Amino acid sequence: MGSKIEIYINYIENSLFTYFKYLLGKSYKYSIVKIFITKYIEIRYYNNGIYRDKNLSDKLGKEFKLIAKELMKEEGADSDLIKNICALFGYVLYFDDACEYADLDILIDALFEEKYVLAPPEIKSEFTNFIKETITKKEAYHKLFITKEFDLKYKRYKKNVYKVTIQNNIDIGKLYSDYAKEKAFNEGTINEDKNYCLIRMLSEKILKDAIKNDFTQKYIISLPESFFTKPKKYKKLISMLDNDLIRNRINLQVTYQEYTNHKEIINESINSGISFALELDETFDNSFNILVLFKYVIVYEHLDIYDALTEDKNAFGTTIITL
């Protein structure tokens, strides 16, 4: 699924190159445009940048100012082109769903009146069709994730941290009891495979969060222990998290007993950048030094270790969640 998220982001990136080809005309220089587009994608979709401003436009403006300053130091730098590229990104925020607008045609009319648009007026119709096609393709992408068969359920663990589960809405008639349906959904192969659907749906939620410039939400999902004994299935699941946008927001929850049983494969995944949440249980043997490996550590009030972990939550190099 990570690759599918990248398909969307790569499409946006390629569309931006086309956008600047249209609007800069003969002044277009791929090497210069690429520097700004790369930085835009890093900030817009991965929240990677020097500045932490909540306002995306302000944040981009500061980042672009730094890039422009460095580029203009180079011999033969085209300062007018650099300024035009920076200015044109103001409209990118509308076309990339970061800012709202009332009417697309009016927006494009305003764009073509700007002095930094170097394209001839006669290409406005072709440019408009390009933007409309981009919008249609983005809408089609998001529709791929709409389903009535499953819902995601969110339980708040703490501010901006949610446990996510998947609910089955498939109607298989009255032949089976609700208990039998629930049992089948939460056991065996179905219990494993439903996690692929969960990650796919949650990844779309995370992408939509990013489009709204919201990078605050973190999610925890549980895995059946059987995944760790099935290398092909586990590899497929991990590949669905192989994207920085997704990897930084989805945490795989395992119990301490499960971690002990599959320590090698879990540590290997952690070292590769996958985030885990550790649920402490009665088997926990006071190995406090390993807690730092986990983004979140979940501890229940009934456990003997509860007081020791909650007296100083900052002492373990992780985020303690109490339940």
Three-state secondary structure call for residue 34: helix
Question: Which pLDDT score, from 0 to 100, does residue 105 have?
Answer: 97
| Rounded Cα distance, 166 and 301, in Å | 26
pLDDT digits (tens, 9 = 90+) for 69-81: 999 998 788 999 9
- Specify whether 88 is located in the same domain as 166: no
Same domain, 170 and 40: no
127 and 170: one domain?
no
CB 201 within 8 A of CB 36: no
pLDDT, position 77 = 85
Q: Which residues contact 142 (CB under 8 A, 6 or more apart)?
A: 204, 208
User: Which structure tokens are listed for 268?
Assistant: 């290997």
Which residue range is the domain that position 254 belongs to?
A: 150-322
> For 84-104, how does the pLDDT look when each residue is reduced to its tens digit (9 = 90+)?
999 999 999 999 999 999 999
* 135, 250: one domain: no
Residue 186 has pLDDT above 70, yes or no: no
Query: Measured in whole angstroms, how far is the alpha carbon of residue 37 from the centre of its chain?
Result: 18
The confidence band for 4, taking pLDDT boundaries of 50, 70 and 90, is confident
Residues of the chain with pLDDT > 70, as a percent, come to 93
CA distances from 313 to 90, 305, 309, 318 (A): 43, 12, 6, 8
Strands (DSSP E) along 117-192, which ranges?
150-158, 161-168
Highest mean pLDDT among 43-52, 124-133, 169-178: 124-133
Q: Are residues 68 and 183 in the same domain?
A: no
Task: Supply the pLDDT for residue 188.
Answer: 54
For the record, the structure tokens of 112 come out as 């073509």
**Rounded to 5 degrees, what are φ and ψ at 61?**
-60, -45
pLDDT in tens, 187-240: 557 778 899 999 999 999 999 999 999 999 999 999 999 999 999 999 999 999
Q: How confident is the model at residue 241 (pLDDT cuts 50, 70, 90)?
A: very high
Give yes or no: residues 159 and 74 share one domain: no
> Do 23 and 125 belong together in one domain?
yes
Number of domain units in the chain? 2
Confidence check: pLDDT of 179 > 60:
no
Please tell me the predicted confidence (pLDDT) of residue 185.
46
Q: Are 127 and 245 in the same domain?
A: no
Structure confidence at residue 184 (pLDDT)? 47
CATH of the domain at 290: 3.20.20.450
Q: CA-CA distance, 124 to 138, in Å (whole number)?
A: 21
Last residue of a domain, one of 143, 169, 200: 143
3-state SS, residue 116: coil
Q: Report the C-alpha gap between 265 and 249 in whole angstroms.
A: 20
The pLDDT value given to residue 36: 98
Entry pTM: 0.89
What is the per-residue pLDDT across 256-276, written as a single tens digit (0 to 9) for each?
999 999 999 999 999 999 999
For residues 107 and 169, membership in a common domain is answered with no
Do residues 40 and 158 both lie within one domain? no
What is the H or E stretch that residue 276 is in? strand 275-279
Q: CB–CB of 275/247 below 8 Å?
A: yes
Can you give the pLDDT at residue 169?
A: 73
Task: Report how far residue 287's alpha carbon sits from residue 289's, in angstroms, rounded to the nearest whole number.
Answer: 5
Question: Do 136 and 183 fall within a single domain?
Answer: no
Q: What is the pLDDT of residues 5-30, one digit of tens each?
A: 889 999 999 999 999 999 999 999 99
For residue 111, give the amino acid letter.
L
User: Distances in Å between the alpha carbon of 253 and those of 126, 224, 284, 296?
Assistant: 50, 10, 15, 9
CA–CA distance, 101 with 21 (Å, rounded to integer) = 23
Q: How far from 314 is each of 11, 101, 289, 291, 293, CA to CA, in Å?
A: 41, 45, 13, 12, 14
Choose the weakest-confidence range: 118-132, 174-188, 291-305. 174-188
Closest among 249, 302, 255 to 275, alpha carbons compared: 249
Percent of the chain residues topping a pLDDT of 90: 82
The residue among 119, 143, 167 that closes a domain is 143
Secondary structure letter of residue 253 according to DSSP:
E
pLDDT class of 147 with cuts at 50, 70, 90:
confident
139 and 28 assigned to the same domain:
yes
